[in-house]
Chains A and B, each alone.
Chain A
Amino acid sequence: GQQVMQIPQYQHVQEGEDFTTYCNSSTTLSNIQWYKQRPGGHPVFLIQLVKSGEVKKQKRLTFQFGEAKKNSSLHITATQTTDVGTYFCAGEGFVFGPGTRLSVLP
């Protein structure tokens, strides 16, 4: 079945530094979604990407879908402590990747 992998598994950054997490699929995806889960909370939908090469921005967050629609990235500019959490990508079939846990040191 379809699998999505994410790297890195963990990322520790100093507040103000940038952060990027990558999502890779073994198969071509029709779309990909990104979610954020705060410690102790539930996943929150961030965005869905559909088009090849698509780039979307939400304030300090930039999401990109690869040309081959097999990979995606989430980039956070100038991280803040409120960015702490685990970021998951999910491909079609609503199968989640393993997630990238971000910690931000003040």
Chain B
Amino acid sequence: GAVVSQHPSWVICKSGTSVKIECRSLDFQATTMFWYRQFPKQSLMLMATSNEGSKATYEQGVEKDKFLINHASLTLSTLTVTSAHPEDSSFYICSALTGTGASSYEQYFGPGTRLTVT
């Protein structure tokens, strides 16, 4: 199946600094990638949809100036958490979409990045 990688797998940063997380589709091209956030023992919360060559679409309540998304190529999307604070500590997971059309696709997830802000 399709493989999606994320880097780094975990990161610890100080409050006020910025952190960049990379999401790559390794063996397929993805025009659409997603960024999710997951708290312990909770479901995935969709943060934004990343489209190659255009601006990301953010879900309601997600600060676009804080969570910067760049989908620079068909295999790479990045999420930058700017001026991170302890409440940003979470598990961030990306996914990439394969297939075509609204009724024929599969979503493959990266392994996730655990961010801890001290």
> Which positions in A face B, CB cutoff 8 Å?
1, 30-31, 33, 35, 41-45, 48, 50, 88, 90, 92-99, 101
The number of residue pairs between A and B whose CB atoms lie closer than 8 Å in the complex comes to 49
Interface flag for B13 (CB, 8 Å)? no
Residue of A nearest to B103 (CB): A50
Q: Is the CB of B103 within 8 A of A45?
A: no
Residues of chain B with a CB closer than 8 A to A42's CB: 93, 109-112
**Which B11-50 residues sit within 8 Å CB-CB of chain A?**
34, 36, 41-46, 49
User: How many whole Å from A25's CB to the nearest CB in chain B?
Assistant: 15
Chain B contact patch, size range: 20 to 34
The dominant DSSP class at the A interface is loop
Interface residue? B100 (CB, 8 A): no
Q: Are A30 and B43 in contact (CB under 8 A)?
A: no
Give the Cβ gap from A73 to chain B, nearest Cβ, in Å.
18
- A68 to B101 alpha-carbon distance, docked (Å): 22
CB <8 Å contact, B102 and A94: no
Rounded to whole angstroms, the CA-CA distance of A92 and B110 in the bound complex is: 20
